[in-house]
A and B are shown apart, each in its own frame.
Chain A
């Protein structure tokens, strides 16, 4: 196996295959990496219910096997979880997870040589509280009655315990303020080719639909991961058919275009009063620091520019904390949405950060987390 190859595969363990998002290949590949000591630990989501799961780092193969399945209402992020721990680790990763991990790698907080990144195609994730409300308001079903969920042909489908399916188009949901998190709508990393191996259900055809995963090997590490899983008897693979390969490329293109459309819709230029716009948006900030703690591209720790230049005793109209962060993250922000998720006063932070990041990253032709290029701001030298 080698970089550039594509396969369709599934778990040889029947129950994992059944529980898996699409065939349980990812789960089995992670379990095999642990079992065969390719890694010392694996990150998985420990599922609590359809809307809650907690990320854990484990060396227990059974815990890994139990984690199969995609949770669309769990917008977690794994980069900070494994940062500064010096682990030999394998983990599943949505596009934004991959980008965060790579950026932490550039900042020496993660050793990428020891990190096996299993990328997941990602159409988007939802905030669990919004999902619950959406189920009650839009679907008229009780969240507790939900048994499973899937996305198919632009529809978000919930299956209830009575076996019934309830479908509404994502467009309609998002028009009403539900559906995916805002950052996911304009995220354009749909197939994470920045990971070691990209996995998803796009491109799986025929009888295998829902029962197999389409994988694309992006690196030597990715090849090693898959080969190891096959050798260990954990997964079975076959070559994809041409129709599947074409279909995957097509959906990817459609989704990326949709992301771009959303980007245009969200980032309407502010003609006048830009300063006032930012001041107003930040006016309720309670200075909790969660946006920094959670940011997967920030690796400053306790002592950082944004906090050192800022004091609660300052009486500026906009705090130095935010001003420094807007600038500091302009080349680093990956638009993962974590900061908006955790802001206790609901400031649409990702939107604000992207207002700075979009033009900077476009002009510098630099997309953080997509490759190993050094962040442009690292190259800035003063008074040399």
Chain B
């Protein structure tokens, strides 16, 4: 008897939280206290990883097969559908696999990000965030996120900054306990920045490009710093490696599938149902998913390899820190090799990854030096919330991964409760575009005319959904 314990990184977001996964019949999470990004601490999602890593089996059209057969069949369908195949990976896997994936896609990789709509000179800033120690040393921090819900491990860094005297301003929909000053998103013009300010926001496939540009502009004009947090385990790696690849935004991809120009979609460690509507996915001739855990999408082919915690490879976190996964598995690469018709050698890919980041060895304790050259003048139009009542979707790891959580309610303020004469313990009716749902509610310091949810209800249209509410 000897425990199988893997030193690994939580895939829940790009924070880079280290942990151990112990295989003890059931999976268990153990705290890796020496991990530099998180000191072994994990958020609610990290604590739920045993649930995320639900076993998956290779399948062709619903029939169980071997990984090899699934990959071979996928290869056939991809080559038959040449020209109408898209390759999608949000960045939930190793840099080595992502490089191999790009080779299959012939330098075409969809991370879901709309890079083409953004000036090239902003890519670095968007891809690699600032070291957390820089956040802790900031004098003024401006949040465009809810740190508690979205990137929980940032909270202790913010608290540490506060202890050292930092002021925290939040541009957000509800009062955040950590903030010294609150600004409503619609009043963002009141935000006063200086060169001592550091903006924390996030960047992902659903980010509104104009909003991203406007935050970049705010920082630029004030000489402030800005850091973009990201929701996938290797978002930073994916964006750095794909910087010269042809890209397709999520919106374009959805459009192409709807038009029928894309008929085969190959997803690597990415559950498309979290971002692509099911009506769209059902139009595909072939949905191929290569993954290490079960997903909620109905795929024609499932290529099942080891879960991330058993893999060998490199992840790059928000700070640009290269981190080695502690597993030894490379059968994800093997599967990609079958599809490419050429074997992928881990070592060669690993060398290329290091070269791309400019490091000679992966050392989790040293953040590589990145050329964080400033970007040029930029403009963006902030989209103000004009809805009478808006449902704000706060994307968090549970939503990105389609994992159930104990959060089937909306948050609203006391004024709203009184105005609608809602009953304690009762529910609230929410209508949008003809759809109607009934939800429990929680009273919270949310702004007037806003409902907040951390769960996907199915009636949303993006991050802000105009809704009508009643008792």
Contact = CB atoms under 8 A, between A and B. Distances in A.
Interface of A: 40-41, 46, 48-49, 51-52, 54-60, 63, 73-75, 85, 127-129, 132, 143-144, 283-284, 286-290, 293-294, 311-315, 341-346
A334 B378 CA distance: 57
B131 interface: no
B1 A41 contact: yes
Contacts of A314: 442
Interface of B: 1-3, 5, 7, 20, 24, 29-34, 36, 38-44, 46-47, 148, 152-153, 155-156, 159-160, 177-178, 365, 405-409, 440-444
Contacts of A346: 156, 159-160
Contact of B2 (A58, A85, A283, A344): A58
Contacts of A54: 5, 7, 20, 30, 32
A345 B155 contact: yes
Given A129-B33, A290-B42, A57 B152 contact: no
A55 B7 CA distance: 12
Contacts of B407: 312-313
A129 B2 contact: no
Contact of B153 (A56, A311, A315, A344): A344
B396 to A, nearest CB: 10
A289 B47 contact: yes
A290 B442 contact: no
Contacts of A143: 365
Nearest to A128: B34
Contact of B148 (A40, A60, A284): A284
A313 B441 CA distance: 7
B156 A315 contact: no
Contacts of A294: 31
11 contacts: A48-B7, A127-B33, A132-B365, A143-B365, A286-B148, A287-B44, A290-B42, A293-B47, A312-B407, A313-B441, A342-B41
A344 B45 CA distance: 12
Given A284-B148, A343-B41, A344-B43, A63 B443 contact: no
A374 B177 CA distance: 41
Contacts of B7: 48, 54
B152 A56 contact: no
Quick one: which of A40, A58, A85, A313 has the most chain B CB within 10 A? A313
Nearest to A288: B44
Quick one: which of A41, A60, A315 has the most chain B CB within 10 A? A315
B159 A284 contact: yes
Contacts of B409: 312-313
Contact of A312 (B156, B406, B441): B406
Nearest to A342: B31
Contact of A344 (B36, B42, B177, B178): B42
B44 A52 contact: no
Contact of A311 (B20, B406, B443): B406
Contacts of B408: 313
A128 B18 CA distance: 13
Quick one: which of A56, A73, A286 has the most chain B CB within 10 A? A286
A74 B148 CA distance: 28
